[in-house]
Amino acid sequence: MRGAAVLTAAGALAGLAAAPAAAKPHHDEPLVIAHRGASGYLPEHTLEAYALAVEMGADVIEPDLVLTKDGELLARHEPVLDETTDVAAHPEFADRKTTKLIDGKPVTGFFADDFTLAELKTLRAEERLPALRPGSAEHDGEFELVTYDEVLDYVATLDRKVITYPEMKHPSYYGDKGMSIEDALADLLEERKLDKKRSPVWIQSFEYESLLNIDERVDNRIGLNIDGQGAIPDATLDEYAETLDTVSLNKNRIFPRGADGSISEPTDIVERAHERGLDVHVWTFRAENSFLPANLREGSDPAAWGDYEAEFELFYDLGVDAVFSDFPDLAIAARDC
């Protein structure tokens, strides 16, 4: 169709730079999407990371969604739990480790779809990038895993509008197992009456067909995530304009990186997408040198923060509609300057 267990503000912000006051959504300015919550500061996809992002003023929070064995939508970056939970420290689950194909490649680990939600609730979240984010890693073992339903319960308690932007992870992987992440998400949105065009829920995926499938069930705004670098033909953009609301682009699609990792002149993709009525979202903005273009890094320490303000400015000046950031406070401060 076209058409609770929340970290207190004081505790969540302890040791961080003071966050700006909570802001109302800026409909005439780029929206700030908290990528996996405030994941630069706290373990990703936890209710505490989402709550911190809201406290910082994020307009949107982004839960990645995977399916559990009993069909629940769990907020995790990937079906594999090894990098972001303490599952390996649970001897009772040692026999669950296995190898499966994701996107045609063998992956070995513990998969969320081999656990019931009750079992997953016994695990605790861990920082995915401890070497770069030791402050976040200090919270390993503190926070439980949460479902998208629980995230929606939390958002419903807020005194301002905050959009959730769930990403359906690897729909084809679940389809091959006889499971449908599209139906699970559509069922939940319909049940909560959040399946309308104006609902504060946008939907994203890297799989185009998956978006077309869920679009038959719900009227929410939908966007395709496009990785890589290089031009997107006009004919392709024309097709997307007929079927999508948003193209969500890797930064390199807009500012390509040279062989030395530096960036220079932008492409015209933002202008061409806007001409067709498509919103343009961009990912992912992070402060650490490890993720910045070579000509915006400061020093040689991969974990040190580089000139992230300059990177934000480059994209804001092009008129992008939203940015994904692990550091929503930094994105907001750069925007509001």
What is 43-57 written as a DSSP string? -TTSHHHHHHHHHHT
Q: Are 224 and 208 in contact (CB under 8 A)?
A: yes
Cα–Cα dist 137/130, whole Å: 5
Residue 31, pLDDT score: 98
Cα–Cα dist 112/138, whole Å: 24
Beta strands in 63-200 (DSSP E): 64-67, 73-75, 98-102, 105-109, 163-164, 167-168
Residue 303, pLDDT score: 97
Q: 305 in helix, strand or coil? A: strand
Residue 13, pLDDT score: 35
Q: Kindly provide the b/e burial profile for residues 116-142, where b requires at least 16 CB atoms within 10 angstroms of the residue's own CB.
A: ebebbeebbbbbbbeebbeebbebbee
Q: Does the pLDDT value for residue 7 go beyond 70?
A: no
Residue 234, pLDDT score: 97
The backbone region for 123, taken as left when phi is positive above 0, alpha when psi lies in -120 to 50, beta otherwise, is beta
Q: For residue 46, report the phi and psi dihedrals to the nearest 5 degrees.
A: -110, 155
| End-to-end Cα spacing for the chain | 40
Residue 28, pLDDT score: 74
pLDDT tens figures, 102-137? 999 999 999 999 999 999 999 999 999 999 999 999
Q: Does the pLDDT value for residue 158 go beyond 50?
A: yes
| Cβ within 8 Å of residue 4, ≥6 positions away | 47, 150, 153, 154, 157
Given pLDDT bands bounded at 50, 70 and 90, which one contains residue 3? very low
Which H or E run contains 267? none
Q: What is the mean pLDDT of residues 93-110?
A: 96
Cα–Cα dist 140/130, whole Å: 10
* β 98-102/105-109 pair status: antiparallel
Q: How high is the mean pLDDT of the chain?
A: 92
Annotated catalytic residue 139? no
Cα–Cα dist 139/121, whole Å: 17
Annotated catalytic residue 45? no
Q: Does the pLDDT value for residue 49 go beyond 50?
A: yes
Q: What is the mean pLDDT of residues 236-261?
A: 97
- Give CA 48 to chain center in angstroms: 15
Residue 16: is it exposed, middle or buried by C-beta count within 10 angstroms (0-12/13-18/19+)?
middle
Q: What is the mean pLDDT of residues 211-221?
A: 98
Residue 161: is it exposed, middle or buried by C-beta count within 10 angstroms (0-12/13-18/19+)?
exposed
Cα–Cα dist 111/91, whole Å: 15
Active-site residue identified among 35, 45, 170, 281? 35
Q: Are 322 and 31 in contact (CB under 8 A)?
A: yes
Q: Does the pLDDT value for residue 38 go beyond 50?
A: yes
Active-site residue identified among 77, 139, 170, 281? 77
Measured from the Cβ of residue 191, the count of other Cβ atoms closer than 10 Å reads 10
What's the pTM value of the predicted model, to 2 decimals? 0.91
Q: What is the mean pLDDT of residues 58-76?
A: 98
Cα–Cα dist 228/253, whole Å: 7
Measured from the Cβ of residue 47, the count of other Cβ atoms closer than 10 Å reads 24
Structure letter (DSSP) for residue 3: -
Cα–Cα dist 99/192, whole Å: 36
Q: For residue 17, report the phi and psi dihedrals to the nearest 5 degrees.
A: -65, 150
